[in-house]
Amino acid sequence: MGRQLATLITEVLATRSQLYRFCFSLVYLFVGGCALLPKPDTCERSSCMLEPTELVSPAELPAPGSVTDNISHAIVQVCACRPWNRTGIKVEKGQEYAFQIVERTEEWVDGDVKSTPEDGWTTGLSRSIGHAFSLLKRSPKANWYALVGTVGKADEGSFAVFNERLNSSESLPETSRVTLSSDWLSIVMGKTGEIYLYANDMNGRYFNNKGILQLKITRTK
């Protein structure tokens, strides 16, 4: 009887602790500038107004080792306040591409929540909150506010541009990292189309996003 009572008390306390954590998470989200109320997704900053107007075909980004290897990469701007960042780079299914930040023009911050393009929200508290509200972010493949890529203008088939550093490519999905390039593994394109990029946020919450990157995209295979 004593053991059963102790178990019951433990379960009640655990439930109460979860409830407190949930309530505190809601307060933190509102105070931190990441409340769930959606607003129009606009990015009217002058430094983020220009986007590519023409596509770069796969023939213009050949695999390393060819005679035109000097143009095997392109550098594009990524603004966290844009729900869709065009790259102007058209890829084909099965090709591999590596991504590397060459310049951080502006700090990557979600409202007031400290973040990085590689890892998204960086503090333990924000990550705990993000886990509780994970169904609201656009891509399940990456942390909140981490940099995400897609082929085509659709969230389906998205991939984490900077995933966990991997020692092996075993048991990875079709869109996965399989070839080592610098600190990160290259990504196999799951279909043909143009690469788009975005900070992994909730639709309707891009108005308070900060962060500008210069991103190098290199065809590796």
**11-70: pLDDT as tens digits:** 544 555 555 555 555 555 544 444 555 566 667 666 776 666 555 655 555 444 443 344
Domain ranges of the chain: 1-31, 39-219
Label residue 175 by pLDDT band (50, 70, 90): very low
Label residue 183 by pLDDT band (50, 70, 90): low
Question: What's the pLDDT at 65?
Answer: 42
Question: What's the pLDDT at 163?
Answer: 73
- Check if the beta carbon of residue 201 is closer than 8 Å to that of residue 133: no
Looking at the predicted structure, is the pLDDT value of residue 209 above 80? yes
CATH superfamily of 39-219: Galactose-binding lectin (2.60.120.430)
Greater model confidence, 61 or 86 = 86
**112-168: pLDDT as tens digits:** 899 999 999 988 887 888 788 889 999 999 999 999 999 999 999 899 998 755 443
